[in-house]
Each structure stands twice: as C-alpha cells, then as structure tokens.
Amino acid sequence: KAGVTQTPRYLIKTRGQQVTLSCSPISGHRSVSWYQQTPGQGLQFLFEYFSETQRNKGNFPGRFSGRQFSNSRSEMNVSTLELGDSALYLCASSLTAGGETQYFGPGTRLLVL
C-alpha cells in the first residue's frame, strides 16, 4: 500500500509570495493533519481535515489555510510568506478523524528568502 505522499518536496519562495502544498493520504484514509516543524518551535499542529471539513485548528495566523477534496487529498496554502514560515511541513493521514495512528508523509521543506 502506498504511503502518504507530499508534493513538492522542496520549495524556495520569497517574502510576500504565496505557496500551496499538497498531500495525498494513504488509500482509504479520510483524515489529514498538517504540522509545521521548525528548530525553534518544534512540531506544531496546523489543522486537521476529515471528510472535507476542518475539524481542528492550531494557533496559526489566518495566512495559513487548508482544504480537503472529496478524494481525501488535502492542500494547505500560506499567503504573504514571511521568513519565519521557513520550515518542514508534514502531513499525516489516519483512517478516521482523530484516528489512533497517524502516518506521516516525507514532508515539504519550504525556504522563504
């Protein structure tokens, strides 16, 4: 069974631009969660989607948004990029909302210059 896939794997943007990251969950998984990982703040929860609905949201500004499609694929968008948005963005999928085991994708490494 294929794992969680994320595209792109690496991205370089400049301040003020916007970016869209994509996540395809494991087949049959309906929940997708997004996390930001930085050396200073560690792993922080961004949001969780289940059946195209946002179920939980972390403490991030409104510049961070996401959505989920009917095939469970998810995208997250960051508008008006700031230097501090440079991070590894990880998505994780699970069978159900708040599912017992989350399987993480390889991540998208975003560098904002």
Partner 1 sequence: ELKVEQNPLFLSMQEGKNYTIYCNYSTTSDRLYWYRQDPGKSLESLFVLLSNGAVKQEGRLMASLDTKARLSTLHITAAVHDLSATYFCAGGRRGNKLVFGAGTILRVKS
Residues that bind partner 1 (CB under 8 A): 33, 35, 42-45, 48, 55-56, 58, 90, 92, 97-98, 100-107
Rounded Cα gap, residues 78 and 80, in angstroms: 7
- Which of residues 4 and 80 has its CB atom nearest to partner 1 in the complex? 4
Q: How far is the CB of 65 from partner 1 (least distance, A)?
A: 16
Rounded Cα gap, residues 47 and 77, in angstroms: 12
Amino acid occupying residue 5 = T
Q: How far is the CB of 16 from partner 1 (least distance, A)?
A: 28
User: CB burial class (10 A; 0-12, 13-18, 19+) of residue 40?
Assistant: exposed
Q: How far is the CB of 62 from partner 1 (least distance, A)?
A: 18
